[in-house]
Chain A
Amino acid sequence: MKKIYTLTILLLFGYQINAQNKFFTKTGSASFYSHSPLEDIKAENNQVVAIIDNQTGKFKILMLMQSFKFKKALMQEHFNENYVESDKYPKAIYTGVIQDFSEINSNTKKITFKGMLSIHGKKKEKLITANAVVTDEEIHLTGIFMLKIADFNIKIPSLVANKIAKEMKIEFNVHLKPYNKK
């Protein structure tokens, strides 16, 4: 266990040492929405971390499940305790490579991400297309995609199974800036 921690810390330091060629944010936002007859389920997370290496096109997106904010305490509790089990699986991670990265320039309107999305301890390959604004100073990504709940082994109690949509709509808005070491 100790070894893993040391490795993680080393990796994090590694990030910071050669981070000059990276675009970065800690305050991206992601929200999900699902319609149900009783009430719409909606939550927002404004602490999404995103890192894009602008040499290789590799990217990494991380977020904490606990950072999703609901309007109602009970919903938030159910989400964290019964559905995504954020005690056991605190993070959602999406990591991979941008497709056709070498062709991206300031005229690019859409960027396609190809990577592994890991939620609730389950991994699933996922293509996500984002509307993009790319300049030397920023990469701004927005978009919407759907996620099947069943893909991530999230169990829904049979009592409410028919009332909760099988797919969640995820919306994101991420504003990356060049990383400057301070």
Chain B
Amino acid sequence: MKNKKIIRIVIIALLILIASIFIIKLYNKPPVNVAKTEAKYHLSSQKLINDFITDEDTANKKYVKQIIQISGKVLEADNTSITIKDENSESTILCSFASKIENSQLKKGQKIVIKGLCTGYLLDVVLIDCVLIPNK
């Protein structure tokens, strides 16, 4: 009889412990790590820009908060961001990095593949927390 009571208390205590660990973990969860997450959409820069230009609302629903991998040509690059542009469109994609990076080797017109979290469309499509995907 006594044993049963102790076991019950131990089980409840364990459950509470597990629940609180779970809650604390959930509470402290950092934002999504782009580098370690597989992209939901793989597409060309042109397609992404066109989708936003033709129907911003639909594109917002589809792409915002998603990790997107795009391929396109460099227009400008500095140590916090890369701008990607296609010849066929006035708009561009602005890819920002979470921290400063060394990308002086990037040249205008160079083809790159880049992955980032889409946050929407201002004058450009904006991707944040970007990661360059090295050429294979």
Chain A residues in the interface with B (C-beta under 8 A): 5, 9, 12-13, 15-16, 26-27, 46-47, 49, 62-64, 66-67, 69-74, 76, 87, 90-91, 182
Contacts and interface: CB of A to CB of B under 8 A. Distances in A.
B29 to A, nearest CB: 5
Contact of A47 (B28, B54, B128): B128
Contacts of B30: 71-73
Interchain residue pairs A-B with the least CB separation, the first 7: A66-B119, A64-B120, A67-B119, A73-B29, A73-B31, A64-B119, A49-B122
A38 B16 CA distance: 22
Contacts of B56: 5
B7 interface: no
Nearest to B81: A27
Contacts of B129: 69
Contact of A9 (B26, B53, B119): B53
A82 B38 CA distance: 27
Contacts, number: 76
14 contacts: A5-B53, A16-B90, A26-B123, A27-B80, A27-B96, A46-B80, A49-B123, A66-B64, A67-B120, A67-B128, A71-B31, A74-B29, A87-B61, A182-B75
Contact of A72 (B27, B61, B119, B122): B27
B123 A66 contact: no
A94 to B, nearest CB: 13
A87 B81 CA distance: 25
Q: Which secondary structure dominates where chain A touches chain B?
A: mixed
Given A9-B53, A12-B91, A87-B61, 6 more contacts: A5-B56, A15-B123, A46-B80, A64-B122, A90-B60, A91-B122
Chain B interface size, as a band, is: 20 to 34
Interface of B: 26-32, 53-56, 60-61, 64-65, 75-76, 80-81, 83, 90-91, 94, 96, 119-124, 126, 128-129
Contacts of A46: 80, 96, 128
Contact of B120 (A5, A15, A91, A182): A91
B26 to A, nearest CB: 7
A72 B28 contact: yes
Contacts of B75: 182
Contacts of B128: 46-47, 67, 69
